[in-house]
Amino acid sequence: MAYIELNQVTKRFGSVTAVDRLDLQIAKGECVAMLGPSGCGKTTTLRMVAGFEDLDDGEIRAGETLLSSKREKYYLPPEQRNFGMVFQAFAVWPHLSVFENVAFPLRIRKLPKAEIIARTEEALKHTNLLQFAAGSPDDLSGGGKQRVALARALAIRPDVMLLDEPLSSLDPHFREEMRFEIKDLQRRFGFSILYVTHDQSEAMALSDRILVMRAGVVQQVGTPLEVYGSPANRFVFEFIGLSCFLKAGLTPSGMQIAGNDYAWPNGIAPSTEIIASGRGLLAARPTEIDFVGEGGVRGHVISKAYLGETIDYRVMVGETEVRVQKTRRVPGPAVGQSIGLNFPHPHWYPVD
């Protein structure tokens, strides 16, 4: 059941279309991550959901309630949407104590004093901040500050939590910890999450579904597995993990890479549309390429680097460099050696 619904949401800044006809449904209690490079429109989308930005087209609803609509010229103010929001730069007010930071949204809503105290303490307890309540947020680490921001968003008991790159200003080891905490809080309070990030591993770890954006246009929406396993296009493939590409000339009977002709082995051939275009892009993850002595796509090893458990090979196929990662337990080719590459799980994309 869709709870938050974005229909054909569009936003333009001058001549630039920041978000282009975006559709998205978020179910109650679901966590959706918006993933993309900076400037792709993901934060703009988040701000439109929050109510900080007007729409140039389309509408946003929450259940039966209309939140924003271009056609009706209706915008529910941010504070009436009952959404919590956490910003990348924490946005924790330095002149207020931790307690007052969390209590402020409740105070401004003019809740009874006793309830303010109870709710604030509850939010602080769940974010492990109770012992710092009287102190200044400036005395806390980045992770601590972000917890204050989280507690502040939590205190209003939001229906949806909007998280704008909440972890990117934190040290790497805090990030993982905070991921679990966010997940934990979501389980406990049952809010939905719309999460903006440019870090694919964060998106994978946290979310039920991922929406990949590029230049305002949605590239793919799906579970982490779908997005990683079958990227909808070259951009998604490249953005979601390590990748290598080889350009190939295509005929119904085989392909030509770097001047060599190869007949189609089983399971490797692309769709007929791509074959019909005569050219295609063979994409693979470095871990999903095998070395073969005879046959395969021919190339030669130019370097070899140990990355702990795996070895990172760079193989030149014609003019193109291909990365291959193999476990160190299986002996691989030496530098300078001519070698064949097999692609057991190839992806084909049209050449742009």
Partner 1 sequence: MLFAFLAIYLLTFLVLPVGTMILQGLTNNEGKFVADHIKLLLANPVYVESLLNSLGVAAGAAVLSAVAALPIAMVLWRYHVRPSVFIELCGFLPLFVPPFVLALSLQIFFGRGGALGMLFQSYCDLDPAILGLPSVMLIEAMHYFPLVLMTLTMTTSAYNQQAKEAASLGSGWFRLMTRVFLPLGMPGLAFGMSITFLKTLDDLATPLSLGVTNLLAPQAFLRVSAYGSQDPLSSLIATLMVVISGLAWFASIRFVRQHVAFRNASSVSASVLLSKQQMIVGITFLGGILMLYATAYAGVALTSIARIWSYTLLPESYVLSHYLTAIHSERGSFINTLAYCGFAAVLDVVVGLVMAYAIDCAPPVWKRWLTWGATGLLSVPGVALAIAYLQFFRGIEVPLINQAIDASWFLLPMAFSVRGLPFAIRACSITLQGIPASYVEAANISGRNRFRIFIKIVLPMMTVGLFVAFLLCFGLAAVDLSSAMLLIPSETNAPVSYSIYLNMQSTTGRGAGSALAILSIALVTLSLFTLLVLIRRDWKTVSSFRKFVFTGS
Residues lying near partner 1 in the complex (CB under 8 A): 50-52, 77-81, 83-85, 87-89, 91, 93-95, 104-106, 108-109, 149, 152, 156
| Residue number, 102 or 311, with CB nearest to partner 1 | 102
Backbone dihedral angles phi then psi of residue 45, each to the nearest 5 degrees: -60, -45
Q: How many CB atoms lie within 10 A of CB 66?
A: 15
Residues 143 and 137 sit within 8 Å (Cβ to Cβ): no
* Closest distance of CB 133 from partner 1, Å: 18
* Closest distance of CB 124 from partner 1, Å: 16
| Residue number, 46 or 255, with CB nearest to partner 1 | 46
Angle, helices 172-189/142-155, rounded to nearest 10 degrees: 20
C-alpha 328/C-alpha 325 separation (Å) is: 9
Which token pair is 254?
């085989």
Q: Among 228, 198, 253, which residue's Cα sits nearest to residue 347?
A: 228
Q: Among 330, 334, 325, 336, which residue's Cα sits nearest to residue 284?
A: 325
| Residue number, 108 or 276, with CB nearest to partner 1 | 108
| Residue number, 74 or 93, with CB nearest to partner 1 | 93
| Residue number, 20 or 159, with CB nearest to partner 1 | 159
* Closest distance of CB 162 from partner 1, Å: 8
* Closest distance of CB 86 from partner 1, Å: 9
| Residue number, 85 or 185, with CB nearest to partner 1 | 85
* Closest distance of CB 79 from partner 1, Å: 5
* Closest distance of CB 233 from partner 1, Å: 33
**283 vs 21, 147, 210, CA distance in Å?**
29, 41, 21
| Residue number, 7 or 88, with CB nearest to partner 1 | 88
Q: Which helix (H) or strand (E) holds 46?
A: helix 42-50
Residues 11 and 37 sit within 8 Å (Cβ to Cβ): no
Q: Among 253, 246, 277, 263, which residue's Cα sits nearest to residue 347?
A: 246
| Residue number, 169 or 201, with CB nearest to partner 1 | 169
C-alpha 140/C-alpha 92 separation (Å) is: 11
* Closest distance of CB 87 from partner 1, Å: 4
**173 vs 30, 98, 147, 166, 198, CA distance in Å?**
25, 23, 15, 14, 18
Q: Among 230, 232, 277, 218, which residue's Cα sits nearest to residue 251?
A: 277
C-alpha 221/C-alpha 39 separation (Å) is: 19
* Closest distance of CB 18 from partner 1, Å: 16
C-alpha 154/C-alpha 126 separation (Å) is: 9
Neighbour-count burial of 320, counting CB atoms closer than 10 A to its CB (0-12 exposed, 13-18 middle, 19+ buried): middle
* Closest distance of CB 109 from partner 1, Å: 5
| Residue number, 152 or 326, with CB nearest to partner 1 | 152
